[in-house]
Structure 1
C-alpha cells in the first residue's frame, strides 16, 4: 500500500448532506464535529507511515476518524466497517457519497499496525489536541489532574498448573507452524493426546499426588523440548520463536531439574505473585498480576491526565499505560516529561498521594515549573497515631550541628547520612544514647524498645526534601489547600465515563503496545465527544440522586 497525497479534502457531497440533515434534524455528534471542527485529520498526518510505491491505500484520515468512532461506540472492526457503509452520520463525517461501499474490515487492523510499527500510537490524540488548541479551547500553564485505574488483560486467568501446561502447548503450536517435520521427529506420541487441546478444556487430575505427578510430567516434557532445541541440529528458526522464549522463562521460574535418573522435573516452591517478572499468560507476556486494596487482576494500569480549567472543556491530555505491577509513583516524572514535550505543561497538577513524594515535589518545580498538589504520604509510625506520643515533629533538628534534641532536652549522639542509591531515597538516621532513654520518664511515650540496649532512632529526609514535604502537608491543612485539592475528584468522573462508555478497563488486544494504542485512541475519542458537547452547549450530567436520598432534602 502506498499513500498518494490528495488535494485539499473536498466538502461533504450534496446528496449526503441533504439526507443527513433530513434524517438527523436535531443534529448528531458526527454532524457537529464535521461542521465545527472539519475532518480533524489529513493524509499528510500519516504520510511517513506509508511507502511511496504500491497500490493506493484507503485515505488514512478517514481510517483515523473511523478508529476513534469505533472506540467511542465499542465496535469491532467488522461492525465499524459496516457502520461506514450503512450509517448516514458516519458518511457525513467522512465525506462519503451515499452509495460508497466503504472498505474491508481488515484495513482497520492494518492501519493500527502501521501506527504501532511507526511508533505513532499517540498521533491520534495529539492531532485532536492540536485541533482544540487551534480553536482556543486548550492552553498550557493551566490546571490539570491525574488518576489511574486497572485494566484487565484480554487473556484468561490461569493458575500455576494451567500456566505451565498452556505455555508448553503454545510453544508446540508455534514450532508446528514453522518446523513441523523436525517436531514430528522429536515429539513423543503421548504429547498429541496431552497437549492437543487447551489445558482449561481438559479434566486435570485431582489435587494431591495425582496432580503432582501430572505437573512433573509436564515439566519433564518441557525440558525435553528445550534440550532438543539446544542441540546443534535444531532449526534456528524454532529456537528463536517468541513462544519458545516464553517457555524458557516460565520453566526457569517454576521448575528444577531432578539430578540423576531420567532427568525429570520438580515444581519449585511458590514464589508469590507480587511485583516481578512473572509471566501470567503465554499469550500476553506483558500482562502482570497486582493486588491493590480489594482489587486483584492480571493486566495493566492506565493513567489519564486531563485539563480542568474553568471556562474550557475538560480534555484528556495524556494516556499512560503500564504493566499492572508498576507503581503510580514511578510515572509522575514521565507524565510531566510527556506534557512538557507536548507544550502542555500545567501550572498546577492535582494528584493523589500515590503520585507524591518529596523528590517529585522538588523535581516538578525545578524542571518544569509545576506545582504538584496532593497529600504527602502519611508517617505510619505508632507515635503518629497515639495521642501524647513523641513523633518526629516533637524533636528539634539542628542540621548545622548534626544533632537532634528530644522533648526532654537530650541530644542525639550519632548522625549518619545515607547516600542516595539508584532507585532508593536518601535519608538521615540519628540515634539517642541508650542510657538516656532507659532513665527517661517519658520512655513509654517515645520508644517501644524492650531490650533497653537501644535508644530512640529517628529517620528523616534531607533538608530540601523535608521542607518540601512539610510545606505540602501544611498547605493540605488550610482551607485553600482543601478547596484546591477537592478539584482533583473530577478526574474520577472521567475514569467512570471512560470505563462505562468507552470500555477503558478491558483490553481489546494483547500486549502493552497494542493496549497503549487502545487507551490513546480512547482518550482521543473521549475528547471528540467532549468537544462536541462543548460546542453544542450540552452541560455535564448532574450526579444522580436516588428517590430515598431526596427525602432527606
Structure 2
C-alpha cells in the first residue's frame, strides 16, 4: 500500500536550517521549494492499488530522488549515499538531517511500478508544468542538445534463432496457427526453442538450414487465412514476415522466384536484432564502437540543469537521427524562438539547421571535420564561394 508523507523528520529540517547554503537557482532548491506541488500524494495512487500490506516509502521522496538520480547519472547505491551524506539531496527530497534514507532496492521497485503504470512519463510532465508555472527558465535562452545510448538487456539474435522464435510466437499467438505450422513447417521441430542439430561448421549445412527456415516462414504466412487479428497476433505475424526477409536474399543462381534463399552479405539497415524486444537496434556512436539498444535524446538548460525535453527512440534510422529528433525536442519548448543551441556535429545537418534558423534560433554546433575527395586534394575551405554571384572558384 502507498505510504503517506506525515511531515515527521529525523532531525532538523535541512531546507529550513541550511537554505542559504544551497544555490537558489539549483535543481535542489527547485525541488525543495516545489516538491509537494510537483508530486502530490494522489499522483501515485494508481501505482499502489492495494490497501493491504506494509506502507511503502512515500512516493514523493522516491520521485524526487529518481529525478536527481537521472540528472546526475548515478547508480541506485550512489543515489542513496548522496541522500545520506549530501545536505542538498536531503533538502530536495524532504529528509531530516539525521535521516539515513532507505535501501537502494526501493528505487528499482519504484521505477518498475512507474514504467508499468498507465503514465510512465508523469514525473517529467509534472516537472515541466511547475517549471512553466514558476518561470524558472524565464530569460534563460540556452539549450544543450545531446544523446546517449541505452543498452538493452536482451541478447542479439542471429537469423536462425530469430526465425525459429518468430514461428513459435505465431503458433502461440495466432488462433489455429499451431496446427498449420505442424502441417507446413518441416525444417525444425518448433516445439523445441533451441537451434537445430546440424554441423554448424559446415557452410553448406548452414545455408540449407537458412533456406529451409525461410521457406517454412513463407509457407506458414501463406497458409494462414486472412482475417482480423488481435494486436498480439498481428504483431507476431508482422515480426515473422520481417525477420524472414531482413537477413536473406535469393540464392546465388536464383531469380528470386524459385524459393531458394541465402544469408545476405552485410547487415540490413534498421535490422531487428531480437524477437524479445523488436524495437531494439544496433547503435553506432562511432564507426568502431557498436552497442545494442536505444538512444535517449535530451534538451537541457545548462545553468539550472533542468531537462526541457526528453525522448527515447530506436538507435538507427534517419527519422531517429539526432538532428531529426532535435526538431521534436525544441518544438515543445516554452520559448519557441530566439534560443542559443549547443550540440555536437550530429545536430548540424543542413536540413535541421535550416529548420532551426527559420525558427530564429542561434546555432553553436561543432562543425564536421573537412574532408577531401581524394588524398591530398582540396577541401571546401579551399574554394572561393560567392553566394551573391552564384560562383565557385577552384583553387587549382
Mapped partners of 2:234, 2:381: distance in 1: 60
Does residue 1:332 correspond to 2:326, yes or no?
yes
Maintained 8 Å contact 2:309/2:330 = no
1:353 and 1:191, CA in 2 relative to 1: closer, same or farther beyond 3 A? Answer: closer
Between the two proteins, the alignment pairs up a number of residues equal to: 360
Does residue 1:364 correspond to 2:360, yes or no?
no
1:219 and 1:377, CA in 2 relative to 1: closer, same or farther beyond 3 A? Answer: same
State the 1:337 CA deviation: 0.9
Secondary structure of the corresponding residue to residue 221 of structure 1: helix
State the 1:320 CA deviation: 2.9
Please give the residue correspondences for 1:109-148 in structure 2 after superposition, counting only pairs within 5 Å.
109-114=112-117, 117-118=118-119, 121=121, 123-129=122-128, 131=130, 138-148=137-147
State the 1:124 CA deviation: 1.7
1:40 and 1:175, CA in 2 relative to 1: closer, same or farther beyond 3 A? Answer: farther
Does residue 1:281 correspond to 2:274, yes or no?
yes
Mapped partners of 2:340, 2:31: distance in 1: 33
Secondary structure of the corresponding residue to residue 38 of structure 2: coil
Maintained 8 Å contact 1:397/1:405 = no
Maintained 8 Å contact 1:39/1:94 = no
Q: Output one character per residue of 1:264-285: Cα deviation in whole Å (capped at 9) or x when no partner.
A: 85334525336x3432221222
- TM-score of the superposition, structure 2-length normalised? 0.66
State the 1:238 CA deviation: 9.6
Task: List alignment gaps of at least 5 residues for structure 1.
Answer: 4-8, 408-444, 447-553
Maintained 8 Å contact 1:145/1:349 = yes
> Partner residue of 2:298?
304
Does residue 1:42 correspond to 2:39, yes or no?
yes
Does residue 1:219 correspond to 2:214, yes or no?
yes
RCO greater where, 1 or 2, for CA within 8 Å and sep 6 or more?
1
Secondary structure of the corresponding residue to residue 319 of structure 1: strand
> Partner residue of 1:493?
none
Mapped partners of 2:260, 2:206: distance in 1: 12
1:74 and 1:344, CA in 2 relative to 1: closer, same or farther beyond 3 A? Answer: farther
User: In structure 1, which of residues 360, 374, 392 is the aligned counterpart of residue 365 of structure 2?
Assistant: 374
> Partner residue of 2:24?
none
Mapped partners of 1:62, 1:174: distance in 2: 44
Mapped partners of 1:265, 1:147: distance in 2: 46
Q: What is the alpha-carbon root mean square deviation over aligned residues?
A: 5.4
Task: List alignment gaps of at least 5 residues for structure 2.
Answer: 22-27
> Partner residue of 1:348?
340
Mapped partners of 2:167, 2:61: distance in 1: 39
Maintained 8 Å contact 2:345/2:365 = yes
Maintained 8 Å contact 1:303/1:321 = yes
Maintained 8 Å contact 2:210/2:263 = no
1:382 and 1:34, CA in 2 relative to 1: closer, same or farther beyond 3 A? Answer: closer
> Partner residue of 1:206?
201
Does residue 1:315 correspond to 2:315, yes or no?
no
Mapped partners of 1:11, 1:35: distance in 2: 16
> Partner residue of 1:12?
7
Q: Could you say which structure has the larger radius of gyration?
A: 1
